[in-house]
Structure 1
Amino acid sequence: MRLLSRLFAIGIAVSGICFAASAKPIKVTIVKKGDGYTLLRGGKPYFIKGAGGSSYLDKLVECGGNSIRTWNSNIGALNLKEAYQRGLTVTMGLSVGIERHGFNYDDTAAVHAQLETLRKEVRKYRDSSALLIWDIGNELNLNYKNPKVWDAVNGIAKMIHEEDPNHPATTSLAGVNPKVVAEIIARCPDLDLLAVQVYGGLAKVPQQIREAKWTKAYIVTEWGPTGHWEGPQTPWKASVEETSTEKAAVYKSRYEASIKVDKNCLGSYVFLWGQKQERTPTWYGLFTENGETSEVVDVMQYLWTGSYPKNRAPHLDSLLLENKRGTNSVYLQAGKAYQAEAFVHDPENDKLTARWELLPESTDLKTGGDHESRPEPIAGLIGDANTEHAIIKAPEKEGAYRLFLYVMDGHNHVATANIPFYVKP
């Protein structure tokens, strides 16, 4: 116990030294340049090539990324230290009460208490040289009704300017809703820039920003594949997910049509530099649960550096079940055997291996990225499996299921696909 206590104390001391070494704020400003805006960090132009999350930071640097985005400051010191050690910056999230979670913006005492809590957070982290931007709340406009939330946001932005003259303040919105943007223009004059979070509609964001009459700079704090609420659904309301190869194509095209070319955009944070369960275990993460990278990571390296990695992830064109895609509404009969086929190849002809997994369709469905639990896999129903095909026995119980395929190349790269199906008795 004494040894553990001493090691813990040493750890705190070392952490404190590392963090103290970064305690020299670098001034960040936004300046008008021609017909657009430029973010300056230490007087030098700084375009954000960022990722959401704090995992796999060495890989982020290797791929040409320069910044991370967090959703709260719970482990702010650790995030700032880890970022500083790698030459990364941080857009630091500040946790703000959400109406759909029960926060009441008519409660002036609660609003004031929140402001003072966040004041302590700003004072704690304002001097880090890794700090880039303060992000006030996350998707506060999602399912909200009380416009006083924006008065609170402006109060927090004003407080940030009082406490920290070196870093701008923003708030991240779900989508680009003209009515919401109008509320923010009217109620939040102290915001320095806007942050938006858009998936399937990313290519339209520059036009939407202009139509919403937002004239300041903006960033995109979340973007990624086609959202589960945007794409095709089966008759039993299961969202159809893109393959990792299809995702790579849309990440590239949407980024090049918006973030890369809009002079009012100061950069972005791709979602998610890690893994999470949201509708499926593979929908939004650029990594698997085992830490393997998908073809999307290859694309991000190209977008950030202009070149692809020497060894690239496998390319998965499609996954079929009984010669049908997920968009074809696949129905199976309980207990019967069916064939699944995958069309996959590797750019370097690396030897491929496959893992097939059968899951019940997720029923723990949330909104706004709230935590979801992963369904337990069903064992014993997949046979004669390799990278190109497998025999699937339909479960005996009626209901919605999903077949997953992971194809690995032996170099920590993976291709992913899944297909939803419904079992009839």
Structure 2
Amino acid sequence: MPGTTLNFLRRLARCLLLPLLLCAGAPAAATASAWQGAAFEGDRAALEKLAQAGAKVVRVYRESDVWVLDAAHQLGMKVVMGLWLGHPRHGFRLDDPAAVRKQEVAVRRFVTTYRTHPALLAWGVGNEVETGVADPQPVWQEVNRLAAIVKSLDPDHPTLMVVADNSDAWLAPLARCCAAVDLLGLNLYGGSVFQLPERLRRLGITKPVVVTELGPLGQWQAGRKPWGAPVELTSSQKADFFREALAFLAGQPQVAGAFPFLWGAKQEQTGTWHGLLLADGSPTAMTDALSAAWGRPVTQAAPRIRGIGIAADQFSPGQTMSAGVDAASFDGSPLTTLWEVRAEATDLRAGGDLETVPPRIDVAVQQADAQSVRFTAPAAPGAYRLFITVRDRLGKAATANLPFRVR
């Protein structure tokens, strides 16, 4: 047996041992489903909804989320505990010995404190730390050095490094990099997830892989309006993506699991682009899709959006505008629709950094019901979005938005 294959099998056995405990009695072919869960940013109520949906694992990003360990344990879930590492684009300097040492001390202290926690499944050492650098390898070597320290302090839990999807040339060094890292985490969006097995083979990456962020088309991938506004999928289209992607990944033996992004809500291009829940915690067709993939299909599905439309892309200040949505509830009962205009986001950041929520724009509404709206275009020229939130009688929601411009 070739040495590389033997090493891969040894790593795979070690790294999948803990998650297998979550699915005691499951056949070996079902190991990928053991890491079923989501990337998480939210409160206790959101975490409870995640457990109720059938998740067994929750991925968190930073030490400030340590409360999730106790809460997840109470809810019967395991945690991939993030160790946040400084990013060069945020000013962290690998050539600053004092900064490097300070970060190492913090990692040592945290791992020593929580290495015996019963909810701990694995350590996530950094997240997309290489974003914005010209050469990722020095950053990855530092991640590997810290991962080795984590392993020396806690040999009982595997280490996971997380990198952003990029070109083959960018990712190729990962085939030879980072011996102290047990599992490779890749943040994948859109159709790239379906290319993952072939890319791993082509690049010679043999480590077990976790899709540490799984999402439909990101705002950097989506089609754009002539003025540059990216076009967001509806929540129903996103749900379709999650169903297909999770079913595909479940059949890939090198993939130990996938974490849809994001169980919670956040502003990133829009307030709905990446959140699986609404800001008020309302479930969606996306959470329904995850529940089904995790073995708990719902009987009362969220509303489904079948189509959206707006009279035009561009309007004059004060012009009357109209838009509509075609949506249906699971049982044919009436729906309600909230129509809201916001300025297009301008505080756009890289790598998921915090963005400012764009302001809501008050407009004069002439008519609004569950299917359509007619209102007066904003007086100020600029880029805007019409946000559409459809709700059923149970409080489940569907979302969509339509970019438009006033000029």
2:358 pairs, out of 360, 375, 380, with 375
Distance 1:31 1:208, change over 3 A: closer
Deviates more, 1:248-257 or 1:124-133: 248-257
Structure 1 residue runs of 5 or longer lacking an equivalent are: 1-29, 325-329
Distance 1:31 1:205, change over 3 A: closer
Are positions 1:302 and 2:302 aligned together?
A: no
Give the structure 2 partner of residue 239 of structure 1. Answer: 230
Partner amino acid, structure 2, of 1:396: A
Per-residue deviation at 1:355? 0.7
Per-residue deviation at 1:43? 6.5
1:135-158 Cα deviation digits (max 9, x unpaired): 111112222135321221111111
Name the CA distance, whole Å, in 1 between partners of 2:155 and 2:365.
Answer: 60
Name the CA distance, whole Å, in 2 between partners of 1:404 and 1:369.
Answer: 21
Are positions 1:110 and 2:99 aligned together?
A: yes
Give the structure 2 partner of residue 220 of structure 1. Answer: 211
Give the structure 1 partner of residue 40 of structure 2. Answer: 53
Residues 288-299 of structure 1 correspond to what in structure 2 (within 5 A)? 288-299=278-289
Name the CA distance, whole Å, in 2 between partners of 1:34 and 1:363.
Answer: 44
Distance 1:72 1:394, change over 3 A: same
Name the CA distance, whole Å, in 2 between partners of 1:318 and 1:37.
Answer: 47
Name the CA distance, whole Å, in 1 between partners of 2:345 and 2:228.
Answer: 11
Residues 252-401 of structure 1 correspond to what in structure 2 (within 5 A)? 252-257=243-248, 259-305=249-295, 308-322=297-311, 330-401=313-384
Name the CA distance, whole Å, in 2 between partners of 1:273 and 1:238.
Answer: 25
Give the structure 2 partner of residue 8 of structure 1. Answer: none
Q: How many residues align?
A: 386
1:133 pairs, out of 119, 122, 128, with 122
Partner amino acid, structure 2, of 1:409: D
Structure 2 residue runs of 5 or longer lacking an equivalent are: 1-6, 24-30
Per-residue deviation at 1:228? 0.3
Give the structure 1 partner of residue 188 of structure 2. Answer: 198
Partner amino acid, structure 2, of 1:370: D
Give the structure 1 partner of residue 392 of structure 2. Answer: 409
1:200-248 Cα deviation digits (max 9, x unpaired): 1211122222222111101011011210010100111100000111111
Partner amino acid, structure 1, of 2:398: A
Give the structure 2 partner of residue 165 of structure 1. Answer: 155
Name the CA distance, whole Å, in 2 between partners of 1:32 and 1:116.
Answer: 33
1:95-122 Cα deviation digits (max 9, x unpaired): 1110111111122332222112101010
CA contact (8 A) 1:36 1:263 kept: no
CA contact (8 A) 1:193 1:217 kept: yes
Give the structure 1 partner of residue 74 of structure 2. Answer: 85
**Deviating runs (4+, > 4 A) in structure 1?**
33-38
* Other structure's SS at 2:252 match: coil
Distance 1:33 1:348, change over 3 A: farther
Q: What value does the CA root-mean-square deviation take over the aligned residues?
A: 2.1
Per-residue deviation at 1:333? 1.4
Distance 1:277 1:314, change over 3 A: same
Distance 1:276 1:73, change over 3 A: same
Name the CA distance, whole Å, in 1 between partners of 2:366 and 2:399.
Answer: 19
Per-residue deviation at 1:38? 6.7
CA contact (8 A) 2:216 2:241 kept: yes
Name the CA distance, whole Å, in 2 between partners of 1:209 and 1:284.
Answer: 26
Name the CA distance, whole Å, in 2 between partners of 1:37 and 1:92.
Answer: 18
Per-residue deviation at 1:32? 2.9
Give the structure 2 partner of residue 6 of structure 1. Answer: none
Bigger helix share? 2
Q: TM-score, normalised by structure 2?
A: 0.90
Per-residue deviation at 1:37? 8.7
Name the CA distance, whole Å, in 2 between partners of 1:204 and 1:31.
Answer: 21
Name the CA distance, whole Å, in 2 between partners of 1:269 and 1:189.
Answer: 23
1:249 pairs, out of 213, 223, 240, with 240
Per-residue deviation at 1:75? 3.4
Per-residue deviation at 1:159? 0.5
1:334-378 Cα deviation digits (max 9, x unpaired): 111122111111111232111110001111111100001111211
Partner amino acid, structure 2, of 1:161: K
CA contact (8 A) 1:136 1:169 kept: yes
Name the CA distance, whole Å, in 2 between partners of 1:227 and 1:407.
Answer: 22
Are positions 1:153 and 2:140 aligned together?
A: no
State percent identity of aligned pairs.
Answer: 33
Name the CA distance, whole Å, in 1 between partners of 2:318 and 2:221.
Answer: 33
* Other structure's SS at 1:348 match: coil
Per-residue deviation at 1:417? 0.7
Give the structure 2 partner of residue 68 of structure 1. Answer: 58
Distance 1:84 1:36, change over 3 A: closer
* Other structure's SS at 2:326 match: strand
Per-residue deviation at 1:251? 1.5
* Other structure's SS at 1:138 match: coil
Name the CA distance, whole Å, in 2 between partners of 1:52 and 1:386.
Answer: 35
